[in-house]
A and B are shown apart, each in its own frame.
Chain A
Amino acid sequence: MIAMTPQLLARLAGLGVLGVVVQTAAVSQLPLAGATADLSPLLVMAVGLLCGSLAGGSFGFGVGLFADVVSLQTLGVSSLVLLVIGYGAGRLREARDPEGTLVPIAVGAAATLAFGVGFALLQFLLGVDAPVSWALLRQLLATLVVNTLLALPVYALVRRSLQAALPDDPRRRRRRAYTTGGLSPLSRGMEVRR
């Protein structure tokens, strides 16, 4: 688990606030293929994958709460769903430590789908008096496609903005170990033979 240093906390707070402001002031006003991108599940997914379940869950809660406050929506809905997404992405990192380039795309798509479905379920539980229409499903699908396309750039941006505060980035650690010969048993064997 990554230690929550003050520097990391500050960066996460800045990232969350900036993400929600950009989402509400610009991204949600840019229709793409009949839908708008939703950056919040992608941001939370990226933080979960980079920082682990504790930071991912807390970041998801904070971003959701801020988004609900700014949008004058029912408090607690987004924070509950995003908290689960952040925690899930963090657990994925801790349990599997996935490395592939396509991982953020797949997890981003899953996070968007989970957010759309979770948000819809909570809305119905809270008593929204509206039937599920094809238009709604089409919008969810369009958002899923747009978010899947954006998942990798968002992940790269989040990674770049948090990199300096992340002492335990698994890829950096592994790359460093292999380039210096620290962890490779093969290279250690070569050393002994010499």
Chain B
Amino acid sequence: MYDKTVRRRRAVLGLLVACSLVLLTAYFGETGGGTLHGVQRGTSEVLSPIQEGASRALKPVRDLFGWFGDTIAAKGQVEELRRERDRLRSEVLRNEVRSADYDRLARLFELDGALDLTERGPKTGRVIFQSPTIWYATIRVDKGSKDGVRVGHPVINERALIGRVTEVFAGSAQVTLITDTKTKVPARAGPRGEFGIVEPASAGNPTDLVMRFTRPGARISTGDRVVTRGTEPDDRAQSLYPVGLPIGRVTRIENEGTDTQEIHLRPFADMRSLDFVQILTDPRGSDG
């Protein structure tokens, strides 16, 4: 009886390990349009409304989390005053959330005006999901193909470029951030607009990007702003990102003046607290 139980347990373990390895190998080997990717996209499509609903439903919990300590400190008051206090606190909390949302949206629109992005079809969306693991720097927003969003569209927040759309569903879209190890952004820095490619300095570090492939004698110094390069007239392919979107500020330069110099920059956008973003649904605007 004992042997039978052990055999059964080991058989199930072996079967599940084999299933995982088969899934991993098949998924890794197939193209983006393969069966497993299709199943994954289909499931995500079905679950998107649930996630969105859960995200909205749990927003008060997320907001409450921040001031939970304050609530504990107010235990000694009389019942009536406590009820009144709770009501007022809820009201204040709602207003604070609205105020914070308003500030972020206002800054988004300010950035639109400053960079003249209004002709690039910006669509404002709310972040409804953030990747739970540090190995995938992705978020999901509540704007999808029915809002005109397509794969490749650049995404900004109220401060700077944050990434690009990599998957689109009917009512939502997956955005891969510029801190993801797969992302590379053509950029310019310094007074002469020196060219380079911006990518994450290391996995799981949302505050450090690195600009590589710059000219050895490039005049770039600490504190310089780094912006997207856009498409030049003699380029063979169109860049995904329009020209001039802010990315970050140079913090230090390694191996300065050599072929392998690395220019480290801190992104303007805080990738750990994204609430509202804008998807540029017409990235070429009047240029295209």
Interface residues of A (CB under 8 A from B): 1, 21-31, 36, 38, 40, 53-54, 57-58, 61, 64-65, 67-77, 79-80, 83, 87, 119-120, 122-123, 126, 128-133, 135-136, 139-140
B132 close to A36 (CB less than 8 A): yes
Distance of A54 Cα from B204 Cα, bound (Å): 33
Per-residue CB contact flags for chain B residues 31-60 toward chain A (1 = under 8 Å, else 0) read 000001001110110010011001100100
Closest 6 CB pairs of A and B: A76-B24, A133-B202, A135-B205, A76-B23, A130-B203, A80-B20
- A24-B132, A26-B61, A28-B130 known; A61+B138 contact, CB < 8 A: no
Q: Is B77 an interface residue (CB 8 A)?
A: no
Helix, strand, loop or mixed for chain B's interface?
helix
**Bound CA span A79–B19, Å:** 9
Cβ-neighbour of A1 out of B9, B61, B127, B272 (below 8 A): B9
Q: A71 to B131, Cβ gap below 8 A?
A: yes
| Distance between Cα atoms of A152 and B56 in the complex (Å) | 27
Cα A57 to Cα B8 in complex, Å, equals 13
Name the contact of A54 in the complex, choosing from B9, B17, B21, B36 (C-beta under 8 A). Answer: B9
Main secondary structure of the interface of A (DSSP, over half): helix
What number of residue pairs across chains A and B have CB atoms under 8 A from each other? Answer: 151
| B213 interface contact, C-beta 8 A | no
**In the complex, what residues of A have CB within 8 A of residue B23's CB?**
65, 75-76, 79
B118-142 contacts to A, CB under 8 A, are: 127-136, 138
CA distance A119 to B204 in the complex (A): 13
* B231 interface residue per 8 A CB criterion: no
CB proximity of A156 to chain B, nearest CB, Å: 19
Chain A residues near B51: list those with CB within 8 A.
21, 24-25, 70
Q: How far is the CA of A89 from the CA of B130 in the complex (A)?
A: 28
Please name the residue on chain B nearest to A71 by beta carbon.
B131
* Bound-state Cα–Cα, A58 to B25, Å: 20
A38–B132 CA distance with the chains assembled, in angstroms: 7
Q: Among B54, B131, B181, which residue has its beta carbon within 8 angstroms of that of A22?
A: B54
Chain B residues near A126: list those with CB within 8 A. 24, 28
Q: Which residues of B contact A122 (CB under 8 A)?
A: 24
Q: Nearest residue in A to B66 (C-beta to C-beta)?
A: A30
Nearest B residue (CB) for A91: B9
Inter-chain pairs besides A25-B54, A69-B44, 17 sampled, C-beta below 8 Å = A21-B47, A57-B12, A61-B19, A70-B47, A70-B51, A71-B133, A71-B138, A73-B131, A75-B40, A79-B16, A80-B24, A83-B13, A87-B13, A128-B181, A133-B203, A135-B204, A135-B205
> Would B128 and A131 count as touching, CB distance under 8 A?
no
Cα–Cα, bound, A65→B39 (Å)? 12
A73: min CB distance to chain B, Å: 6
Q: Could you give, for residues 164-190 of chain B, a 1 whenever the CB lies within 8 Å of some chain A CB and a 0 otherwise?
A: 000100000010000001000000000
Q: Which residues of chain A come closer than 8 Å to B61, judged between CB atoms?
A: 26
B200 contacts A by Cβ under 8 Å: yes
- Whether the Cβ atoms of A83 and B62 lie closer than 8 Å is no
Is A79 in contact with B9, judged by CB distance below 8 angstroms?
Answer: no
| Closest A residue to B57 using CB positions | A25
CB distance from B176 to the nearest CB of A (A): 10
Task: Return chain A residues, CB-CB under 8 Å to B128.
Answer: 25
Complex CA distance for A80 and B128, rounded to whole angstroms: 27
- Minimal beta-carbon separation of B167 from chain A (angstroms): 6
Asked whether B20 lies within 8 Å of A79 as measured between CB atoms, the reply is: yes
